[in-house]
Amino acid sequence: MTIRFILNGDDVELVTGAEVSLLAILREHFHLYGAKCGCMRGSCGVCSVIFNGAVCPSCLIPAFKVRNSEIITFEGFSQTVEYADIKGGFTRAGVELCGYCSAGKYLAAATLLDRVVRPEKDDFLNAFRGIRCRCTESENLYAGIVAAGELRQQRIYGRIP
């Protein structure tokens, strides 16, 4: 089947099988490797993308659902000012990053901070429940998200309101 969709802001088109996963399409067709291969069952989050505004595991999204959708990958997100806020917050809090789960970690943080300016611990736990990370303690990651939210507010308002 032929599918068209928006990938990191560009209109793209390809011919693929209806059941081929978005993860395979990103890696094999577009050579975008930010979404990693992990459990392949939707439970680890290392393959995360933003799919029509929500963080989703790309290993579970078949090509027929990708048609006419809007996808943002870690590569696309890493070009944004929001990415810089989160990177700065993680650095400020000393969040360890081996890079394997970066797609899930950054994209979950981005969509959380889009919804909640100052996330409470429960907001954080809810947003990150699908992301497994072997490198970072939950408390440390939460501190990084809070710091990222403050940097974002400073950038937008010139101060923390």
Amino acid letter for position 57 = P
# chain residues binding ligand FES, by CB under 6 A: 20
Residues 6+ apart with CB under 8 A from 139: none
Which two structure tokens, joined as six digits, stand for 48?
């995360």
**CB 52 → ligand FES: shortest distance, Å?**
17
Instruction: Verify binding: residue 98, ligand FES, rule CB under 6 A.
Output: yes
Alpha-carbon distances of 73 from 7, 9, 114, 137, rounded to whole Å:
8, 10, 16, 24
* Contact (Cβ atoms closer than 8 angstroms) between residue 32 and residue 58: no
Candidates 11-19, 32-40, 67-75, 106-114; binding stretch for ligand FES (CB under 6 A) = 32-40
Candidates 4-12, 80-88, 120-128, 133-141; binding stretch for ligand FES (CB under 6 A) = 133-141
Sheet strand arrangement including 54-57: 10-15, 2-7, 70-72, 48-51, 54-57
Instruction: Verify binding: residue 26, ligand FES, rule CB under 6 A.
Output: no
Instruction: Verify binding: residue 138, ligand FES, rule CB under 6 A.
Output: no
**CB 96 → ligand FES: shortest distance, Å?**
6
Q: Which residues bind ligand FES (CB under 6 A)?
A: 37-40, 42-47, 57, 59, 97-98, 100-101, 133-136
